[in-house]
Structure 1
Amino acid sequence: MRSKPVAVFMAFGTKGDIYPLAAIAAAFACDQEQYQVVFITHSAHENLMVHLRANKVTYIPVSSPPVVSPLEHCGKMELSFSAHKREIIQKHRYECTSIIEDIFGDSSVEGDVIAINFFALEGWSFAELFRVRCIVVAPYVVPYSAPSSFERQFRKEHPGLYNHLQEAPTDKVGWKDVIHWMWPLFTEEWGSWRSLDLNLSSLPFTDPVTGLPTFHERLPSPLLLYGFSKEVVEYPGYWPSKVRVCGFWFPPKEWQFSCNDCAEISASVSSGSSNKQNELCSIHLSLQVFIEFPATELPIFIGLSSIGSMGFLRNPHAFLRVLGTALDISGSRFILFSAGYQPLEAAIDSYAKEASSCPEQTQRSNEGVSLFGGRLFCFSGSVPYNWLFPRCAAAIHHGGSGSTAAALLAGVPQVICPFMLDQFYWAERMYWLGVAPEPLKREHLVPDKDEDFYIKEAANMLVRALDYSQSSEVKSRALQISNKLSNEDGVSEAVHLINEELRSCR
């Protein structure tokens, strides 16, 4: 029988979905030492383990991948990919259920809480099952919206529950909560799992036997914390009453070193048990040399994170040709982060081998490869964006929340090519803020066709966007916003709000 309350942080997705919540979990563990703090995420993010352990947070991996790519099913029936995805989801939920059962056991303790991001909606049902408070902790605005027919269909199929939610007091769960972020929980995908595996009602807020709304118990509206700044995103009046905007959640810079040696050293440094601070940069010495030479010309960062593994970078060779052609047109220098995407790294190696007979075209090192006359430096092991971005003239990226926030804090112009979900929102928002040109279309950065016409067209669009980003107006605006963000501490604000919520439960 445990005596300490548990704070479970569940976060699924790619790095930008995970690291901000991990930073909050670590800060919460340091602030609330009476809690046992657990962080549950994909095993692919195992580099977090050493940092979390240094802050007394237990890391528990789940074997499911951060993304399920259709690439491995290319050329097969769509059904085979759908069946494969269902199998992964089923296994993922089974693992999560086993973990949560082991943590909470047969009963809860006062103060127990589950904090989730939008890709960990299992946590809401687990909180209901074990009767603990659930908090949503999201680094970005809701990445999906309800279908236009959702409310009409809901009102038709569940009139009693619809009226029950519409009539809820401001401080209780109501229709605003449902339509803002909870609506997926009312779909069959979640309903069958809730009823068959958890023995809960298929619909939240209904009795499992009668299917009627639980009139005898109205739950408080769940606290929803957003990890962005009010300087960047407006706070509309139609959001639920318990939404709070904290400021961006930036992990400590040492967390973003992906290689294991760096992770071990940086965790020791952050916990005060090592004097090896200088060793962190030695592994990335080649990158440092590229940035500083020539010192009068800052390079431009290019990183698409997990876009490749999601199936959007189908022709890496064409992508590299676009970059090479853009370099010929502009005279710039690029730093390309390959994010460990094997087909892209294979294309980089292919370019390197083709140019190996011409030493002036390609230089190799243990930490990266230089192509196109030494003007494109390609590397795989990541470095902290808050170290790298201030050393760059601009950041070309996919519009992920983490990359966007890091570029804003660094005060560098951005060129964004969105591919999915909230990336389109961030791309449009950065253009509206004046820190980026209009978003690039996908074919203007990663064309599928490796033909001269498409390559040249894409390169010209990229160069025009870069020219726009280097205007004095865009640079000035980027620095202005950076100065405002430097005064915010989103992680501390999030921990404060979580503590307030837990105190209100007692």
Structure 2
Amino acid sequence: MFLVCFIDCRWFYVFLQEFGHHVRLATHVNFSSFVKSAGVDFYPLGGDPRVLAGYMARNKGLIPSGRAEILIQRKQLKAIIESLLPACTEPDIETGVPFKAQAIVANPPAYGHAHVAEALGVPLHIFFTMPWTKKKLKLSPIAYFSTYHGSISHLPTGYMWSPHVVPKPSDWGSLVDVVGYCFLNLGSKYQPQDEFVEWIQKGPKPIYIGFGSMPLDDPKKTTNIILEALKDTGQRGIIDRGWGDLGNVTEASNNVFLLEDSPHDWLFPQCSAVVHHGGAGTTATGLRAGCPTTIVPFFGDQFFWGDRIHEKGLGPVPIPISQLSVENLSNAIRFMLEPEVKSRVLEIAKLIENEDGVAAAVDAFHRQLPPELPLQPASSEEDELPSPMVLLFLQLQKWSCLPFGM
């Protein structure tokens, strides 16, 4: 099967390839080398993840706060949408080897995945790291086109989190699976600098603090809050610079290490607790490492994971980035260092360690496939011309990206 994927979970796709599938992972060009290093084909999607992250942080979600923000988001969405169809049909950019998707794996915010699947007549399977199956409005579900012998009420969906952290609700039905966490396991090949290893070994386990790809309005102010909180609680700390330029100070105490980059699955087991933005992958890695967790959410599902961590007793009440202060962070650090919190996290860590989310995800994908798949047609001159459905999709792309007033 020729399979195109619009969600980054490399080992899931490596495992799919072991079953004989030809997998292409389509994502932003920033992640090209990251994808290729796992032996998975790469195809570039449009848009810049740094710009998208900045937009989400400034506007606290998808609703724009002004005309300038609307134009930024329109440009990004246009670039993404226009690259989806080529990602499913165009030959490999480097080798020229033909490629036509027979199935699509995507996350819900892929902006057009369902329409591409409909245009190509191929099955679509949703995988995501936050809940998207909701019935709050009590409306009839959208009936997506599928090759499942007609329309279905919703698409097959696999959620990539541990059922011990968020169990599957009983009313989600057989098309929805909670498969477990799917870890990258990058730490097995990581070689830390000697200076970093020596610093870790000089004292008690430090606290990790970093916000990954999240932009910061005032990196210096945030850094000072972190330094003061560490001093106030008497803790050693690792400050991860990330995309927000955190920890950009001329001089730091011997109790603080300023980190450029390190795989979390290697780093977190060296730490006593972690403070981060609440990304699904970072949260999962911290729990597997047995680290009490403080989540400082910026937007989106980060608030959900912050609340869930607190509800399970694995960390304090989440601190939104706008409310981060020396007092709040100091109290959170003291909460994480309580023995009973550590004990609860270690219990969860053991349960997660015994799960195999990648294998469960692959099983769910195969189990939800329709009985018959679209054949991979032989190349011909007719294949060079898009079908009427594809032409319609292309026209809809143009219409959706026109500026206001047209």
Give the shorter-chain TM-score range: 0.7 to 0.9
SS at match of 2:177: strand
Query: Is contact 1:108-1:130 (8 Å) kept?
Result: no
Structure with greater proportional helix content: 1
Is 1:95 aligned to 2:86, yes or no? no
Structure 1 unmatched runs, 5+ = 12-17, 152-161, 163-174, 179-202, 207-215, 256-265, 267-279, 353-361, 363-370, 446-457
2:47 is aligned, of 44, 64, 67, to 64
- Cα-to-partner distance string for 1:356-403 (whole Å, 9 max, x where unaligned): xxxxxx4xxxxxxxx1x222211222x221211111010001111011
Q: What CA distance in whole angstroms lies between the structure 2 residues aligned with 1:52 and 1:489?
A: 19
Q: 1:374 corresponds to which letter in structure 2?
A: N
Larger radius of gyration: 1
1:228 is aligned, of 145, 155, 161, to 161
SS at match of 2:108: coil
Q: Hey, what does 1:424 align to over in structure 2? A: 303
Is 1:325 aligned to 2:228, yes or no? yes
Q: What CA distance in whole angstroms lies between the structure 2 residues aligned with 1:44 and 1:128?
A: 28
2:112 is aligned, of 118, 122, 127, to 122
Q: What CA distance in whole angstroms lies between the structure 2 residues aligned with 1:63 and 1:221?
A: 27
- Cα-to-partner distance string for 1:404-451 (whole Å, 9 max, x where unaligned): 101110111111111211111111111111110111233342xxxxxx
Query: Is contact 2:4-2:87 (8 Å) kept?
Result: no
Q: Where do residues 328-343 of structure 1 align in structure 2 (5 Å cutoff)?
A: 328-342=231-245
Q: Hey, what does 1:289 align to over in structure 2? A: 198
Q: Go from structure 1 to structure 2 and tell me whether the alpha carbon gap of 1:411 and 1:504 turns closer, same or farther (over 3 Å shift).
A: farther
Worse-superposed segment, 81-90 or 479-488: 81-90
1:46 is aligned, of 32, 38, 43, to 32
Q: 2:199 corresponds to which letter in structure 1?
A: F
2:123 is aligned, of 125, 133, 144, to 133
Query: Is contact 1:73-1:80 (8 Å) kept?
Result: no
The alignment's C-alpha RMSD in Å is 3.0
- Structure 1 length normalisation: TM-score? 0.65
Q: 1:23 corresponds to which letter in structure 2?
A: W
Q: Hey, what does 1:435 align to over in structure 2? A: 314
Is 1:388 aligned to 2:271, yes or no? no
- Cα-to-partner distance string for 1:289-314 (whole Å, 9 max, x where unaligned): 221112xx110001111221xxxx21
Q: 1:36 corresponds to which letter in structure 2?
A: H
Q: Hey, what does 2:181 align to over in structure 1? A: 248
Structure 2 unmatched runs, 5+ = 60-64, 93-97, 374-406
Query: Is contact 2:230-2:236 (8 Å) kept?
Result: yes
Q: What CA distance in whole angstroms lies between the structure 1 residues aligned with 2:33 and 2:128?
A: 21
Q: 2:126 corresponds to which letter in structure 1?
A: V
SS at match of 2:235: coil
Q: CA deviation at 1:287?
A: 2.2
Q: CA deviation at 1:504?
A: 3.6
SS at match of 2:161: coil
Q: What CA distance in whole angstroms lies between the structure 2 residues aligned with 1:394 and 1:73?
A: 28
Is 1:414 aligned to 2:324, yes or no? no
Query: Is contact 1:228-1:247 (8 Å) kept?
Result: yes
Q: CA deviation at 1:81?
A: 2.3
Q: Hey, what does 2:74 align to over in structure 1? A: 86
SS at match of 1:238: helix
1:378 is aligned, of 258, 265, 271, to 258
Q: Go from structure 1 to structure 2 and tell me whether the alpha carbon gap of 1:72 and 1:131 turns closer, same or farther (over 3 Å shift).
A: closer
Q: What CA distance in whole angstroms lies between the structure 1 residues aligned with 2:130 and 2:6?
A: 16
Q: Hey, what does 1:9 align to over in structure 2? A: 5
Q: CA deviation at 1:463?
A: 1.1
Q: 1:116 corresponds to which letter in structure 2?
A: A
